[in-house]
Amino acid sequence: MAEYRTAPLVSEYLTSADTLERCPADDEPEVAFVGRSNSGKSSTLNRLTGNKRLARVGKTPGRTQLLNFFTVQAGGRLVDLPGYGYARVPQYRREAWGRSVDDYLHNRLNLVLLVHVMDARRPLERFDRDMLRWCGEREKPLLALLNKADKLNRSKGADALRAVQRALPPEATAILFSAQTGLGADEALQVLRASLRLSASP
């Protein structure tokens, strides 16, 4: 088991929104989580907050079409954006996804960091490449988490990390991560805490 040297971001559910207009006031810094459905976004949120029940895990992929907001006790918010790329979601729902998430990503002024959760076994699918390019063009701070690294041996993990690092915009960071084992959680928490301007202790 990985040990925490950096405290998890204790958080609680705040609210959900289906459009930018319905999001809470932009008066607190926000770290938003994006990723393909089933990449382990909910599991990652749970790991980084130290709360296994914060975000729902493994429910019908693509069902979570809302932007879910969590208040970080120490300050700031985490935002679980709808997952993308699940084939069974009808086209019109995918377009709705596009609008609310696009709107949030383009216009949310208090967005301080985007955490991009990828499956380390297939990290650079089309959606992932689009997102990396988008972040690069806008110089948005980005943390790429190569989740499910527990499924890869050391050398495959290193290969995946190198491949992603080559594809990343200059200022972005990539970490081999496992929501399941806690691999990389400490390093990830340091990045999140720095973005939210929190110290390393609770």
Ligand X SMILES: Nc1nc2c(ncn2[C@@H]2O[C@H](COP(=O)(O)OP(=O)(O)O)[C@@H](O)[C@H]2O)c(=O)[nH]1
Q: Which residues bind Mg ion (CB under 5 A)?
A: 41-42
Q: Which does 179 bind (CB under 5 to 8 A by kind): ligand X, Mg ion, none?
A: ligand X
Whether 160 and 152 have beta carbons less than 8 Å apart is answered as yes
Q: Closest by alpha carbon to 152, among 120, 183, 123?
A: 120
Say which amino acid occupies 121. R
Which residues in 180-191 are b (16+ Cβ under 10 Å) and which e? eebbbbbbbbeb
CA distance 72 to 70: 6
Nearer to ligand X, 15 or 181 (CB): 181
Return the bridge partners of 13, or none. Answer: 70
Which listed residue (70, 178, 184, 198) binds ligand X by CB under 6 A? 178
Q: Which does 170 bind (CB under 5 to 8 A by kind): Mg ion, ligand X, none?
A: none
Minimal distance, residue 44 CB to ligand X, in Å: 7
Question: Which residue in the shown chain puts its C-beta closest to ligand X?
Answer: 40
Site string for ligand X, 120-159 (x = CB under 6 A): ---------------------------xx-xx--------
Nearer to ligand X, 6 or 43 (CB): 43
Residues contacting ligand X: total by CB under 6 A:
19
Nearer to Mg ion, 41 or 47 (CB): 41
Minimal distance, residue 47 CB to ligand X, in Å: 8
Q: Is 53 exposed, middle or buried (0-12, 13-18, 19+ CB in 10 A)?
A: exposed
Q: Which does 187 bind (CB under 5 to 8 A by kind): ligand X, Mg ion, none?
A: none
CA distance 77 to 135: 20
Residue 166: how many other CB atoms lie within 10 Å: 9
Residues of this chain, 38-77, that bind ligand X according to CB under 6 A: 38-43, 57-58, 61
Cα separation of the two ends of the chain: 21
**What residues line the site for ligand X (CB under 6 A)?**
35, 37-43, 57-58, 61, 83, 147-148, 150-151, 178-180
